[in-house]
Amino acid sequence: MTDRAEGDFARGFTRGFTRGFKGISEFHFLLPGNFAEANPRAGLERTLELIAEGERLGYAGAWSRQRHLERGVSSAAVFLAAATQRTTRIKLGTAVIQLGYETPFRLAEDLAMADVLSGGRLQAGVSAGPPPFGRLLGDLLYDGDPEKIDYSHVRAERLARAIRSEPLHDEALAGNAAGAQIPRLQPVAQGLADRLWYGGGSLKSAVWAGGAGFRLLSGNIVTGEQTEDFFAAQNALIDAFQASWRGRGAAEVGLGRVILPTDSASPSTRRRYAEFAASRDARTKAPQGERRTLFLPDLVGTTQEIAERLRADPVVGRVSSLRLEAPYEFEAEDYAQILHDGTALFRLLAPASAAPAL
């Protein structure tokens, strides 16, 4: 670590972490929803079963990625709408929907529908920016010149405005054969606008999210803008977000770590997890690419070993909820084992004064 990075880390620790580890009160998990190309239904069905199993195990939240042009969940709103019919309590989140592929109004309709079906449990995580595969998709995605499209945070602001379902006119211009209606986004998802999250890795995004009233999602990837130390960068991100917060309620941070507990894993599975983490370790040694992306190592080991590392994690020490993130392309049996072992891990991290909401 450079002298500057060490200084950044020390200042961050003094600002945010001097009170020590308080314990995690709410535990979530994230699954990628991968499947075999020849049988996508089986993989998606198994992921839905795992979400229901996570609820039975006591987790507080289940999150889905949204990915395009690969074997995974391509529409998180549709997928989680299915999950609403198999669960009753667990929060259901998207981490994250890339808004460059979406139109704010149509996405708002889908999210509102899923939230109403869930009984108000949806946590909608999004990110801004141009669609990575936009050029490849061409006119399958664009109706006009993509250079003239605004992919900034304004797109997320338009989504939030649509989700609020404010009347678009004071006259009944919409409706059907049964009668006229005031035009507004339907169904109205009460409170969803206060359950919007932004996946931000840069200080600019963190400041914007706080000012716009979006909660902050952060994981094991951040931008190293002022330091090469991951924890210092993520700590600065949270500081910037909380200082700019203008939303209702607390300035919540949804923190994720890639966690692979091995307590009930077979010897061969333990070796495979260790080899997987080792294959990704090189990227954690220095900033990657022009954006100076910083990566945190995956956490592999017994629940006791991982708990000790998380207690020493200075960012975990300042949040009350933690998201166990499972990697891509593992087998369904691996994900089930990880979720089951995760419950033991979280009991080790719960506040001493209260039982955790897994």
Position 357 scores a pLDDT of 66
List C-alpha distances in Å: 328 to 6, 122, 274, 332: 33, 23, 15, 11
Q: Is it the case that residue 6 has pLDDT exceeding 70?
A: no
In angstroms, rounded to a whole number, what is the distance separating the alpha carbons of residues 133 and 114?
26
Position 320 scores a pLDDT of 85
Q: Is it the case that residue 152 has pLDDT exceeding 60?
A: yes
Does the model's pTM come out above 0.95?
no
- Other beta carbons within 10 angstroms of residue 7's beta carbon come to 14
Asked whether 211 and 246 are in contact (CB, 8 A), the reply is yes
Helices (H) and strands (E) in the chain, counts: 11, 13
Fold of 3-349: TIM Barrel (3.20.20)
Q: Is it the case that residue 95 has pLDDT exceeding 80?
A: yes
Asked whether 113 and 185 are in contact (CB, 8 A), the reply is no
Query: For 6-15, 23-32, 54-63, 273-282, which range has the lowest pLDDT when averaged over its residues?
Result: 6-15
Show the CA angle centred on residue 29, arms to residues 73 and 103, nearest 5°.
40
Query: For 16-30, 83-97, 156-170, which range has the lowest pLDDT when averaged over its residues?
Result: 16-30
In angstroms, rounded to a whole number, what is the distance separating the alpha carbons of residues 256 and 244?
22
Q: Is pLDDT larger for residue 353 or for residue 265?
A: 265
Q: Is it the case that residue 15 has pLDDT exceeding 90?
A: no
Position 354 scores a pLDDT of 59
Average pLDDT of the residues in 114-129: 98
Q: Is pLDDT larger for residue 11 or for residue 122?
A: 122
Average pLDDT of the residues in 295-306: 98
Position 355 scores a pLDDT of 57
In angstroms, rounded to a whole number, what is the distance separating the alpha carbons of residues 344 and 358?
10
Band the pLDDT of 352: cuts 50, 70, 90: confident
Q: What is the DSSP letter of 195?
A: G
Task: List the end-to-end C-alpha distance of the chain, in Å, as a whole number.
Answer: 35
Segment 59-68, tens digit of pLDDT = 999 999 999 9
In angstroms, rounded to a whole number, what is the distance separating the alpha carbons of residues 239 and 234?
9
Q: Is it the case that residue 52 has pLDDT exceeding 80?
A: yes
Position 346 scores a pLDDT of 87
Q: Which residues fall within 8 angstroms of residue 4, CB to CB, at 6 or more apart? A: 227
Where along the chain do its domains lie? 3-349
Q: Is pLDDT larger for residue 19 or for residue 165?
A: 165
Q: Is it the case that residue 167 has pLDDT exceeding 50?
A: yes
